Structure 1
Amino acid sequence: MAVRGKLKIYFSYAAGAGKTCAMLSAAREEQKDGMDVVAGIIENRDRPETEALLVGMEQIPPQEISREGTVMHEFDLDRAIRRHPELILLDELAHTNPAGSRHKKRYQDMEELLRAGINVYTTVNVQHIESLQDLVVSITGLSVHERIPDHVLDSADQVELIDIEPDDLIDRLNRGKIYHEQPQGQNASGFSPEKLIALREIALRYTASQLNRIALQISSQEANQEHYSNEHILVCLSSAASNKKVIRTAARMAEAFHGDFTALFVETPETKGLTQKNKTELRANLRLAEQLGAQIATTYGEDISGQIAEYAKTSRVSKIILGRSHSKKSWFGNTNIMDKLAAASPNMDIYIIPDTQPSLYNRFPQYRISPRLSLTSTFITFGILLVCTLIGLWFSALGFREANIITVYILGVLLSAMITEGRLYSAATSIFSVLVFNYFFTAPYFSLRAYDSGYPVTFLVMLAASFITSTLTMRVKEQARQSAKKAFRTEVLLETSRKLQQAKDPAAIINETAQQMVKLLDRTVIFYSVLPGSLSEPLIFPKEDSDANLHIYTSSSERSVADWVYKNNKRAGATTDTFSAAGCLYHAVRGGDSVFAVAAIVMENEDPLEVFDKSLVIAMLGECALALEKEQLNEKQKEISIQIQQEQLRANLLRAISHDLRTPLTSISGNAGILIGNSGVLSEEQKTGLYTDIYDDSIWLINLVENLLSISRIENGSLNLNVQAELIEEVIAEALLHLNRKSNEHIIRTVLSDELIMARMDSRLIIQVLINLLDNAIKYTGTGSHITVSAKRDKQMVVVEVADDGPGISDEAKTRIFDMFYTADNIRGDGRRGLGLGLSLCKSIINAHGGTFAVHDNFPQGALFRFTLQAEEVNVHE
């Protein structure tokens, strides 16, 4: 991964202060010192000073983009990355790229250059800082649309203030030094001395704040600790356009106090009734808070002040920033959200920022009720009115009073509100109930007139009761719906966590995460797993009943967005400022700086994600990243464990070889020396004895080396079985031919239940097993002992046994006899110490064949080793 490049920003309070010339001059000095410097994009506006500084400096050819007949020359990001200079110059960092570009803003191009390891020099005016926008507007009266988030300057390695006296700046402007096309002597809006002085003061303060922040970071790093502040700033989000001013104020306060910054959105039952315009504003405010460094949090509840207070107490918030509410006080008490919040959180500082537009936090927010007309609901409404009227006529015939009939109609309004969809039908039921009651049950009957002077009051009370009943019923329905939705979301999140814990491999983790995302969002989800250096083929998880052509979301253009997200560890795609024309929203499934997968949510023809859904998706992807990281760590741990075991095996082998091979090697070399130096003195009988000792020791060494090689192949996983059908009789006979010479001192016989017993095996390895078992029987039993090799068919298996009538094996030794480097007795029957590899090797070979290996007591005495192999049918006709 490339080392991140360094960023230096030339900062000033107005255009024409000399930022571009200062940047070019510094770049030329770096070029003289041998640095590879390239001009990416310079807005020179035909200024002679700028043109002179560009002479002799390589420039990236601009990219020509045609829009509505106009050709624009823009910075070519891809060419700059391919060129990959040490230093690149980018003028006007707040510039907005044309539609269709990879990034919406030039500062995002700059961030990609830094991630590629390229150093960047750039220029910015104070008017373009997002958190200072409201201050700039209040001074100049002009709103700047090209802005950059504060974190861009916060991430800068150097910020150099380019200062000039306001009078000198105005003089330069009047002489046409700043804008070449402006006639000399003509001033521009916003360049009065008073305004420039105010802007200059803001720039100086902001630069001082940045220098102080950098100094704090350096001192914290030198002290090897993180800077800590007990200040926690909470700003409340709303759908008002003026909420941006509240967010910027909170961001400046968080910067001034060096505290944590959180933006809270309280989702209420009325949130779904917001107009599309308000939803767009809410998403814009949410994105602004993210750009200014806020941690986004979402809660749900009808009592907004209570939700804010509860979150503030839980998160240890010290200061709450609110926009001014327009709700008025009621006769029955305080309904103003600030008053209620102050009462709920008396120990917190609450700051009220003037907010001139309606906010979502008003008690009765301005949202639009879209009447949903339904033929079914219409019939239900008229049916309820008809039933209530029939019941009323029945009650009237029975002599019941009018109050009882009114109760029937109020019950009808309640039923209508519960059954029908929307407020329209419950409101209509309330009005028609009064009219029908007046028509049928008040004198004069069958007329909408009323003789009794008290009837109008009765009608008003009935209408008010109907409206209140329907309103409360609709509210209960909405709360029940929201509670069910919240419970569903919580269930999905908990289920995701549980399923990810149970997932066995990365493929299962990705599959479970994708299925849960589809369940939560009801949208198609696409996942790309990370392979070494690239992404895998897309895994598509369609939503239920999806009939769209999903292959368009895995095209080369969409794949390029996924690749960009993987390489840059950033989100991109639809509803973002990077690759905004894509059909999917792409998120990196990341843990720190590592990307484990890329998740794509299909957004074509779909509304943007709601705030709460977005938070849940990020939480689910975080859980997925943790699970994938844990799986990756487990795999690495397994590899490390295997390496440790192999190292331990090598160490044990070396210790055993260094100790136990010394005796036979010393014996061979000593006997050989005696034969060489005293061949004429020794008798033939003595020579034969020495030759025999040399032969026995060398055979022991050969068998040991064979066992060592087999053990190493098994431990490394390189033991390849050449399994074929073999006759057991032939394999046993071959093993008997390779026994050592002392086998003649024992009685060895073979017992077969059938001469044509065949089993599937690698005969070379099974012969080695039989040789080890027979050698053990020879070495650990006395001269003249009986050793029996038998084989029989038992259903689908062949059972082979090697039994002796020696001293046998103790019960304690049986539990460890198949462990590597364990020997039942320190001294063998022939007085030579063994390595304890033979039986461990035998068990490994038999297990590799799919058989079993065990040791038992032989009757009446001795030991019996039994192993099984897969039987093979014998074709007697061949």
Structure 2
Amino acid sequence: MAAKPIEARSTFKQISDIPPEKRRGKLKIFIGYAPGVGKTCAMLSAGHKGQKDGVDVVAGYINPQARPDTAAFLKGLEMLPHTGNSSEGRGFKEFDLDHALQRSPDLILVDDLAHTNAAGYRHKKRYQDVEELLRAGIHVYTTINVQQIESMADLVSSITGMSVQDCIPDSVFDNADQVELVDIEPDVLLGRLKKGKIYNSNEETEKAQNHLFTKEKLNALREIALHKTASQLNRIAAQISVQVKRKEYDTKDHILVCLSSADSNKKVIRTAARMAEVYHSQFTALFVETPETRQVTQKNKTGLRENLRLAEQLGAQIATVYGEDVPGQIAEYVKTSHVSKIVLGRSLYKKRGFSKSTVVDKLIALVPNIETYIIPYTEPAFAKRSSFSLESPRVSLADMAKTASILVACTLVGKWFHELGFREANIITVYILGVLLNAMVTKGRIYSVVSSIMSVLVFNYFFTEPYYSLQAYDSGYPVTFLVMLAASFIMSTLTMRVREQAAQSAQKAYRTEVLLETSRKLQQAKDFPAIIDETAHQMVKLLDRTIIFYAIGQQALSAPLIFPKNESVAVPQVYTGEREQAVAEWVLKNNKRAGATTDTFSDAHCLYHAVRGGDTVFAVAAIVMDQEEPLEIFEKSLMIAMLGECALAMEKERLNEKQKEIFMQIQQEQLRANLLRAISHDLRTPLTSISGNAGILIGNFEVLSEEQKKGLYTDIYDDSIWLIHLVENLLSISRIENGTLNLNLQAELIEEVISEALLHVNRNSKNYIIQTVLDDEWLMARMDSRLIVQVLINLVDNAIKYTPCGSHITLSARRDKHMIVVEVSDDGPGIAEEAKARLFEMFYTADNIRGDGRRGLGLGLSLCKSIVNAHGGTIGIRDHYPKGTVFYFTLQAEEVSVYE
């Protein structure tokens, strides 16, 4: 009987219709409820269909031990070679991810999505290989069984009695673009099993018949697969629906699960994840850190990290709170975070101290209106012990000496009190005070316990009759000893607890202060190098580990920036070697974390995180993890928050740079518009004059007198000279604006520069009285003489154009400390006060009426200002008394060397 595909369709287009440009690939999952239903055959059949439609299809990985019926479907498909040695002795090799990326087909077929890769490969799981293919723009068809979905593992195990080893996160299945259920009747599947069409050996067939392949179990698994596929169909339909409905789903419920190191916590997390999926709700995993959790065994630390990773894979947001009152901390978080449902495991509701109520009882009393779900777990391995066990006490000679010294001191004080005739109650107080002091100065509860017991024994030996004996005559002494022991033990315990809480609060305050300090420093950072430097130093302060940053330059990683935790110790080259930089390059390309403590490049020496804003990676941060303990939950959360602050600062800096570029473009556009507008209006007069005068000469040359011809020639010459000066000013301004103006600075005599300028001023200068006044004929300044000559020409021409004939124009120069002040003054009508503030702006012209009736472009004075500023000088204007105007500018003075 043929397999019946049931599809949960999305907007997944036909592969042949997808444009060739690179983008994220599409994922299609063929899911079955048990081995042998025909998932691989259905996938290969779909691959053949795509190939007929013109799609470039390759078989990336199909189990080499596939059944004969399955192997027949491989004919006609290109098969990529496998890589590596036989995986864990199973007799076949692994999927070659790099070869697949290099081949880059349109569609690749990859069997067994939940497979765990052999040690030494880039990724720990095959679904991570598939995600990298999708990010490279390659479409993927793949297969799984329903029990290999993480949230389904416990449910399926309870049905089959078999644990599931290889799983994929629910997010991989939920984010698939298309899901196809390959379904056949259980009776048909059992018939296949009996005919040997599922397993290759009789031993495997017999084992399957005893554990999985019973009609009742297969029916139950089939129902789960149908339900899961239907849920995916509903999810895809919800994604297609309007955004408002999706937002309502997101904010309707908030489910909270509590984390611990117990293995039973995995079932609690999976249950909460399924509830979050059903209710379309926010999902948070909360870890309550108490003083005891810092003394847990390595096994419990490993278990806590595994449960934390499982919660992250199932889509939970991780949160951490501190405090000794576990139900109180949970209740406080529930109230502040608007949690609607709490999921707890049986391991959490043990009694604390002498209280008769459990943690669950207290929690329900604190938040009675919140729905609380208790997930039973009956494995005896975890029912009889707490989630955390204390490590064996460490013996310290220093603490032993402190304990003994305090005990001796208390005994000496007690002897003194006894000689003074004080009552025994006063001496008991001294020993209780010694126990409190001992709890404050020693580390570890063992010393407080020893101090309490020894205080009772020493008091009995020295201060009760018979003296120097552990016996006691008075019948009330045993009660006194018990009360003294209980008081000493309780007081020492409370003192130790207060000290631990104080240390914990101080550490939390320190970490929070580091995060706030990071935010403040990043706001003050002025550029990308400063942002990286501040972030790296704050990460070193927070984590006490060596930090390495890779900045992004030209779409590639720049040289590593190393920030060691200990300045006096050199950082080994292995942390920045070729292998480590390859991991950083992968993080840049894929925008995912990798390296030590992850499932990607897990053999690396560093943990790599992308400093990203959305899909843009600004840098890659590496935390050296070699021979170091994995990051704690709160440390990891703060580190991610710190990198987020860094990304925001970099995003802000990038936006600032773009704004500057946009502002420059706007300025350039304004300059171009003003220039075109000015040219269109102000060039019309000289061009019309030149063309008109030339036309008169051409048409009336013979009838014109010599004097008339000379006048027309003169007008044409004046207009052409005006145009030449205009073009020179425009070219100079364009070179200054573009930054292509190169100054040739040399020491020049001011007198020679002024003389050169006067040779090129307006020919109408003969109608004015121009003179030069120098305080010293050896005045020298450091300048580019060609440009300063142009400044003087513009200033003198400006005076000629805006003063009546016969006016006095004076060029003067004098020394003022380390500067040379050059002035051009006239005795004309002067300039209005409101015009002085804008006179050096480009395209601004005063309202003075020129003799030729021509309005200037307003470029000359602006050019003078740019040239003088480029020389490091200043330019300005003031009134000339009794009348007229003075333009002045300054240049750097140069000493005169006289040689005999």
TM range (shorter): over 0.9
Matched, 1:159 2:179: yes
CA distance 1:587–1:62, shift in 2 (3 Å): same
Superposed CA offset, 1:65-122 (max 9, x none)? 2678886411100000000000000000010000010000000000000000000000
**Structure 1 residue 550: Cα displacement:** 2.4
**Structure 1 residue 190: Cα displacement:** 1.3
**Structure 1 residue 544: Cα displacement:** 2.2
Mean Cα displacement is larger for which, 827-836 or 422-431? 827-836
The separation in 1 between residues aligned to 2:204 and 2:172, in whole angstroms, is 36
Match for residue 678 of structure 1? 700
Matched, 1:14 2:65: no
The separation in 2 between residues aligned to 1:708 and 1:631, in whole angstroms, is 34
**Structure 1 residue 373: Cα displacement:** 2.3
**Structure 1 residue 356: Cα displacement:** 4.4
The separation in 2 between residues aligned to 1:460 and 1:202, in whole angstroms, is 62
The separation in 1 between residues aligned to 2:559 and 2:263, in whole angstroms, is 42
Match for residue 483 of structure 2? 461
CA distance 1:44–1:15, shift in 2 (3 Å): farther
The separation in 2 between residues aligned to 1:473 and 1:361, in whole angstroms, is 31
CA distance 1:68–1:324, shift in 2 (3 Å): closer
Match for residue 121 of structure 1? 141
Question: Contact conserved, 2:350 with 2:359, CA < 8 A, in 1?
Answer: no
The separation in 2 between residues aligned to 1:224 and 1:254, in whole angstroms, is 14
Match for residue 560 of structure 2? 538
Q: Residue 781 of structure 1 aligns to a residue in which SS?
A: coil
**Structure 1 residue 788: Cα displacement:** 0.8
Q: Residue 373 of structure 2 aligns to a residue in which SS?
A: strand
Match for residue 847 of structure 2? 825
Indicate which of 767, 770, 779 corresponds to 1:745. Answer: 767
Any unmatched runs of 5+ in structure 2? 1-20
Match for residue 112 of structure 1? 132
The separation in 2 between residues aligned to 1:26 and 1:123, in whole angstroms, is 12
> What is the identity, as a one-letter code, of the residue corresponding to 2:726?
L
Count residues with an aligned counterpart: 878
**Structure 1 residue 327: Cα displacement:** 5.0
Indicate which of 369, 372, 376 corresponds to 2:394. Answer: 372
CA distance 1:184–1:80, shift in 2 (3 Å): closer
Mean Cα displacement is larger for which, 17-26 or 659-668? 659-668
Matched, 1:713 2:746: no
Match for residue 193 of structure 2? 173
The separation in 1 between residues aligned to 2:548 and 2:41, in whole angstroms, is 48
> What is the identity, as a one-letter code, of the residue corresponding to 1:38?
V
Matched, 1:319 2:341: yes
Match for residue 133 of structure 1? 153
**Structure 1 residue 48: Cα displacement:** 1.8
Question: Contact conserved, 2:293 with 2:388, CA < 8 A, in 1?
Answer: no
**Structure 1 residue 220: Cα displacement:** 2.8
Indicate which of 584, 595, 604 corresponds to 2:626. Answer: 604
The separation in 2 between residues aligned to 1:239 and 1:331, in whole angstroms, is 21
Matched, 1:52 2:68: no
The separation in 1 between residues aligned to 2:207 and 2:469, in whole angstroms, is 77
The separation in 2 between residues aligned to 1:364 and 1:252, in whole angstroms, is 26
Superposed CA offset, 1:379-411 (max 9, x none)? 211111111111111111111111111000000
Indicate which of 504, 508, 519 corresponds to 1:486. Answer: 508
Indicate which of 840, 857, 860 corresponds to 1:835. Answer: 857
The separation in 2 between residues aligned to 1:95 and 1:859, in whole angstroms, is 95
Superposed CA offset, 1:684-734 (max 9, x none)? 222121111111111111111111112222222222222222222221111
Question: Contact conserved, 1:585 with 1:602, CA < 8 A, in 2?
Answer: yes
CA distance 1:125–1:830, shift in 2 (3 Å): same
> What is the identity, as a one-letter code, of the residue corresponding to 2:33?
Y
Matched, 1:664 2:712: no
> What is the identity, as a one-letter code, of the residue corresponding to 2:284?
T
Spell out the pairing of 1:560-639 with structure 2 (5 A cutoff). Answer: 560-639=582-661
Match for residue 149 of structure 1? 169
The separation in 2 between residues aligned to 1:643 and 1:223, in whole angstroms, is 43
Mean Cα displacement is larger for which, 691-700 or 216-225? 216-225
Match for residue 513 of structure 1? 535
Superposed CA offset, 1:177-235 (max 9, x none)? 01122369746121111111111111111110011001110113699988644111111
The separation in 1 between residues aligned to 2:689 and 2:141, in whole angstroms, is 79
**Structure 1 residue 346: Cα displacement:** 2.1
CA distance 1:385–1:620, shift in 2 (3 Å): same
Match for residue 367 of structure 2? 345
Question: Contact conserved, 1:173 with 1:187, CA < 8 A, in 2?
Answer: no
Question: Contact conserved, 1:174 with 1:187, CA < 8 A, in 2?
Answer: no
Q: Residue 300 of structure 2 aligns to a residue in which SS?
A: helix
Any unmatched runs of 5+ in structure 1? none
Question: Contact conserved, 1:723 with 1:762, CA < 8 A, in 2?
Answer: yes
Match for residue 4 of structure 1? 24
CA distance 1:137–1:116, shift in 2 (3 Å): same
The separation in 1 between residues aligned to 2:129 and 2:718, in whole angstroms, is 79
> What is the identity, as a one-letter code, of the residue corresponding to 1:630?
K
CA distance 1:845–1:331, shift in 2 (3 Å): closer
The separation in 2 between residues aligned to 1:357 and 1:306, in whole angstroms, is 28
Match for residue 264 of structure 2? 242
**Structure 1 residue 325: Cα displacement:** 4.2
Mean Cα displacement is larger for which, 338-347 or 588-597? 338-347
Question: Contact conserved, 2:300 with 2:387, CA < 8 A, in 1?
Answer: no
Q: Residue 471 of structure 2 aligns to a residue in which SS?
A: coil
The separation in 2 between residues aligned to 1:364 and 1:25, in whole angstroms, is 53
The separation in 1 between residues aligned to 2:379 and 2:806, in whole angstroms, is 109
The separation in 2 between residues aligned to 1:493 and 1:299, in whole angstroms, is 16
Q: Residue 660 of structure 2 aligns to a residue in which SS?
A: helix
**Structure 1 residue 795: Cα displacement:** 2.3
**Normalised by the size of structure 1, how large is the TM-score?**
0.97
Question: Contact conserved, 2:262 with 2:387, CA < 8 A, in 1?
Answer: no
Matched, 1:526 2:534: no
The separation in 2 between residues aligned to 1:364 and 1:43, in whole angstroms, is 43
CA distance 1:185–1:126, shift in 2 (3 Å): closer
Matched, 1:231 2:253: yes
Spell out the pairing of 1:849-864 with structure 2 (5 A cutoff). Answer: 849-864=871-886
The separation in 2 between residues aligned to 1:269 and 1:330, in whole angstroms, is 14
Question: Contact conserved, 1:823 with 1:834, CA < 8 A, in 2?
Answer: yes
Indicate which of 688, 703, 715 corresponds to 2:725. Answer: 703
CA distance 1:630–1:78, shift in 2 (3 Å): same
Match for residue 110 of structure 2? 90
**Structure 1 residue 369: Cα displacement:** 3.8
> What is the identity, as a one-letter code, of the residue corresponding to 1:233?
I
Mean Cα displacement is larger for which, 680-689 or 206-215? 680-689
The separation in 1 between residues aligned to 2:245 and 2:88, in whole angstroms, is 57
CA distance 1:328–1:31, shift in 2 (3 Å): closer
Matched, 1:557 2:584: no
CA distance 1:856–1:334, shift in 2 (3 Å): farther
Superposed CA offset, 1:660-693 (max 9, x none)? 1111111111111111111122222221211111
Matched, 1:200 2:241: no
> What is the identity, as a one-letter code, of the residue corresponding to 1:4?
R
Matched, 1:39 2:59: yes
The separation in 2 between residues aligned to 1:240 and 1:186, in whole angstroms, is 34
The separation in 2 between residues aligned to 1:87 and 1:398, in whole angstroms, is 96
Q: Residue 888 of structure 2 aligns to a residue in which SS?
A: strand
Question: Contact conserved, 2:292 with 2:390, CA < 8 A, in 1?
Answer: no
The separation in 1 between residues aligned to 2:664 and 2:228, in whole angstroms, is 57
**Normalised by the size of structure 2, how large is the TM-score?**
0.95
The separation in 2 between residues aligned to 1:340 and 1:606, in whole angstroms, is 38
Question: Contact conserved, 2:239 with 2:246, CA < 8 A, in 1?
Answer: no
Percent of aligned positions with the same letter in both sequences? Answer: 72
**Structure 1 residue 375: Cα displacement:** 2.2
**Structure 1 residue 367: Cα displacement:** 2.1
Q: Residue 65 of structure 1 aligns to a residue in which SS?
A: coil
Mean Cα displacement is larger for which, 552-561 or 394-403? 394-403
